[in-house]
Structure 1
Amino acid sequence: MAWLFIIIAGLFEIVWAVSLKYVDGFSKPKPLIITIVGMIISFGFLSLALKALPIGTAYAIWTGIGAVGVALYGIFFLSESANYKRLVCLSFIIIGILGLKFFTP
């Protein structure tokens, strides 16, 4: 279950990080509420995952999922660069996440 919890935590990290972009200096309540709720859910599931996973592994996977997810959001929805160098670097993060998954006891 810990691995499922860390994946859910990472997905909600994407939610709150993306919604934070639209908060506009805390002047827009809807994205602010989404950000806060996303943070609570993300941290809650991270906390549950930490009961069984080493903190270094869990934190690296959590932030990795968030980093890759937000970068892909930027590419697909905000017209950010999708050059091959950037995609190669993102693939290294994904390889690192998978490595931690498969090589962590």
Structure 2
Amino acid sequence: MSWLALLCAGAFEIVGVAGFERLTRRIYASGLLLGVGGFGLGLACLHYAMHSIPMAVAYGVFTGVGAVGSTLLGILFWGDSARPARLVCVLAIVVAVVGLKSSY
């Protein structure tokens, strides 16, 4: 159950980043709601997950899921770069997260 909470934490972090993106486009009400709500729920899920997953592993997976998800969201919806070098770096993050989970 802790790993599910950790994945949810990463997903909520992506929601929070999407909220910040809306704030930068001056869409204040929904941006603030998504940002505060997403990051708040993400940290709550991370807190729950850290009861049984070591801090270094939990935080590494949390930030990895958030970074990969936010990068993919930016590529798919906001026209961010999808250069091969960037995608290789995202793949490296995925490999590192899988390695953290495997080493637990």
- Give the TM-score, by structure 2 length: 0.93
SS at match of 1:22: helix
Partner of 1:79: 79
State the Cα deviation string for residues 50-105 of structure 1 (Å, max 9, x = none).
0001111100100000001111111111111111110000000000111111111x
Partner of 1:13: 13
Offset at 1:25? 8.4
Please tell me whether the aligned partners of residues 75 and 81 of structure 1 are also in contact (alpha carbons under 8 angstroms). Answer: yes
In proportion to residue count, which structure has more helix? 2
Please tell me whether the aligned partners of residues 5 and 45 of structure 2 are also in contact (alpha carbons under 8 angstroms). Answer: yes
Root mean square deviation, CA, Å = 1.5
Partner of 1:51: 51
How has the CA–CA distance of structure 1 residues 26 and 43 changed in structure 2, closer, same or farther, with 3 Å as cutoff? Answer: farther
Offset at 1:26? 7.4
How has the CA–CA distance of structure 1 residues 27 and 70 changed in structure 2, closer, same or farther, with 3 Å as cutoff? Answer: closer
Rounded Cα–Cα distance in structure 1 between residues aligned with 2:26 and 2:55: 31
Please tell me whether the aligned partners of residues 6 and 62 of structure 2 are also in contact (alpha carbons under 8 angstroms). Answer: yes
* Runs of 4+ that moved beyond 3 A: 24-27
> Percent identity, aligned pairs only?
35
Rounded Cα–Cα distance in structure 1 between residues aligned with 2:25 and 2:74: 20
Q: Is 1:95 matched up with 2:95?
A: yes
Rounded Cα–Cα distance in structure 1 between residues aligned with 2:7 and 2:96: 14
Q: Which amino acid aligns with 1:21?
A: E
Rounded Cα–Cα distance in structure 1 between residues aligned with 2:56 and 2:84: 29
